[in-house]
Chains A and B, each alone.
Chain A
Amino acid sequence: MLTRSLLAGVACALLGACTGPDFRGVVLEPPEPAPALALADSNGTVLDLAGERGKVVLVFFGYTHCPDICPTTLADWRKAKGLLGDEARAVRWLFVTVDPERDTPQLAHRYAARFDRDFRGLSGTPDQVRAAMAAWKIGSVRDAGGTDSSYTVSHPSVVFVLDREGRVRLLHRQGMPPSAIAADIRALL
């Protein structure tokens, strides 16, 4: 999904064929229904994305031992949420681990909630996480080096942005300023 979506977004930008709001993220045209994301939070509650219809949902796949990209992304989300004010009530912010061997649902959620209590961290068994990643057509690879506790993981750098109909509508690349993230969300609300 990721490479094809990025290419579709580029084509959309080059051809000027996309209509609608002037999004800052990469626009997926046509938007695709979001795959299931049946993973648990710290309470053991399994997410039902269908239950989030009517909300704008941001999904980021990372891991809690990630020292750079993941905390930077979640810090940007926190700033964007602040810019949205009350409108953020209609937004869901999901941090999904790609490292279930180390990240339990409790750890994933504790990590996400440290940035903002409304951020939700999700994990599951390795098989469950692999199934979710396969459904989203993304991958992750344990990087060479490190130890069983200190390794790093290659993972998607983009944020998937779902519209109120539960479709993957935008991809947010790394480096988008919080004001742009907030503007895209506001355009989808």
Chain B
Amino acid sequence: MRPGLVGEMSAAYFTVPNAGSDTLRLTGVEIDAAAHASFHRTIDSAGTARMVAQDTIAIAPRDSAVLAPRGLHVMAHGLRVPLAAGDTVVIRVFTSRRDTLLVRAAVRE
């Protein structure tokens, strides 16, 4: 997760594997440290970067969703607390299995 000051944007990156035999869908995300969090994908086309909101992220069986810079990511809007390198943030990811994945993300520069 990227560092930031109160009120700023940040982004979180992580990998979610799907070890099951059915497609797994990530349906939502929450971060206590941010007022709002959502999935986005950065599209870089013809020299222009734009962000496209992703309602869900589908993960095929035995595949993984890789959230990484310049691609899929969690956009965290309105940080409630300052985040500095070394901090840890808990991210809750909701899935189509109706369970919640807990991601402990380290804050890094």
The residues of A with any CB-CB pair to B shorter than 8 Å are 2-3, 6, 64-69, 71-72, 75, 78, 139, 141, 143, 145, 149-150, 152, 154-158, 171, 173-175
A sample of 20 cross-chain residue pairs with beta-carbon separation below 8 angstroms, ordered by A number, consists of A2-B47, A3-B46, A64-B8, A66-B9, A67-B2, A67-B77, A68-B69, A68-B73, A72-B69, A72-B70, A75-B109, A139-B48, A143-B51, A152-B75, A154-B48, A156-B47, A157-B48, A157-B49, A173-B44, A174-B49
Q: Are B46 and A6 in contact (CB under 8 A)?
A: yes
The residues of B with any CB-CB pair to A shorter than 8 Å are 2, 8-11, 36, 40, 42, 44, 46-51, 53, 69-70, 73, 75-78, 109
Rounded to whole angstroms, the CA-CA distance of A150 and B76 in the bound complex is: 10
User: Do most interface residues of chain B lie in helix, strand or loop, or is the interface mixed?
Assistant: strand
Contact residues in B for A156 (Cβ distance below 8 Å): 47-49
Contact residues in B for A175 (Cβ distance below 8 Å): 70
Closest 3 interchain pairs by CB?
A154-B50, A157-B49, A67-B11
Contact residues in A for B2 (Cβ distance below 8 Å): 67, 71
| CB-based A-B contact count at 8 angstroms | 74
Contact residues in B for A154 (Cβ distance below 8 Å): 48-51
